[in-house]
Amino acid sequence: MAVPDPSSVHLNRYYSYEFVSRLKNNLKSNGVVIYGINPSGHYLSDWQTKKLSLIYNTLSSVFRNLEIISGEKDYLLASDQHLSISISELTASRSLLNIYVNEDYIDDTQIELRSNFLNEQINTTEGINTNNKALPAFYSTVKYLAHFSSAMNLLLVIPIIVLFLLLFLFKTQLRGMYIAGFTGASIEVILIFFFQIVYGYIYAAIGILIAVFMAGLILGAFVGRRFQRSIISYRISFLIILVYLSVLYIFLSSSYTAIPPLILWPV
């Protein structure tokens, strides 16, 4: 798998349980899957350990055998057949004519020690990586933000305070509109991420998603001018939003890969 680390929702799809299962279905019985992620070095941070554990657990939940080889990257090898990391021994036994890379160059003992060290760091209770729960991407983001923790905490706290402060300044009906607008914008962001999780790309479709959202705002404003607004109409609007969020949650938590695009796209 010649793909970068799962640092985004898009890249995380190639490390998910759903994708690894599809890999196995397309492999021969003695096939081997190899992933290469950024090297751990001599020390694994908490975030690096969590990420490595998630990928390891995901592969081991699909394949019977798993090995780690540390080098320029940390290579994870997965297969249903027996795996050996005694590279030097295998090279010699098969009489491979490698002038530069041979048993004098590769130290099997060092590889085994390093592999054992990484295996000891694996946390089997960390769970597995799925499309709906892209934890490696989350951990990569948190790791990046940790470099700017003081500034980032301030940047996160100030908008939250402003958002909640506005609730106390508005009257009842304006407060309802404010909450509805905030919820609608949040749903749009969730939809964009959901679309990327399902289809793997977003740039070709994000214009359509935003256009449909804006069209809904125009339609809502047009209808709102034609009908008398009341507390009941606000409650109905919120009920519709609640129903849609429930439907969206069902799709997010289900096996949406089996859902026909003609149903999934309108949702």
* Greater model confidence, 237 or 37: 37
Considering the chain, what is the average pLDDT of its residues? 84
* Greater model confidence, 121 or 96: 121
Average pLDDT estimate for 85-111: 83
Instruction: Quote the percentage of the chain above a pLDDT of 70.
Output: 96
pLDDT (tens digit, 9 = 90+) per residue, 199-244? 777 777 888 888 988 998 899 888 878 877 777 877 888 888 889 8
3-state SS record for 60-129? HCCCCEEEEEECCCEEEEEECCCCCCCHHHHHHHCCCCCCCCCCCCCCHHHHHHHHHHHHHHCCHHHCCC
pLDDT (tens digit, 9 = 90+) per residue, 39-74? 887 778 888 888 899 999 999 999 999 999 988 899
Cα dihedral 192, 195, 201, 203, rounded to 10, equals -40
pLDDT, position 265? 77
- Residue 76: pLDDT band (50, 70, 90) is very high
Give the DSSP letter of residue 137: H
Can you tell me the distance from the alpha carbon of 145 to that of 139, in angstroms, rounded to the nearest whole number?
Answer: 10
Asked if pLDDT for residue 142 goes beyond 90, the answer is no
Helix (H) or strand (E) holding 35, with range, is strand 32-37
pLDDT, position 149? 63
pLDDT (tens digit, 9 = 90+) per residue, 99-116? 777 777 888 888 899 899
Assessment of whether the complete model's pTM goes beyond 0.75: no
| Residue 59 CA, distance from chain mean position | 15
DSSP states of 196-255: HHHHS--TTTHHHHHHHHHHHHHHHHHHHHHS---HHHHHHHHHHHHHHHHHHHHHHHS-
Asked if pLDDT for residue 150 goes beyond 70, the answer is no
Closest of 159, 124, 132, 103 to residue 52, by C-alpha: 124
Average pLDDT estimate for 247-251: 81
| Residue 11 CA, distance from chain mean position | 7
67: β partners: 77
CA distances from 57 to 51, 74, 116, 171, 221 (A): 10, 15, 16, 51, 50
- Residue 257: pLDDT band (50, 70, 90) is low
Asked if pLDDT for residue 81 goes beyond 80, the answer is yes
pLDDT, position 152? 63
* Greater model confidence, 37 or 158: 37
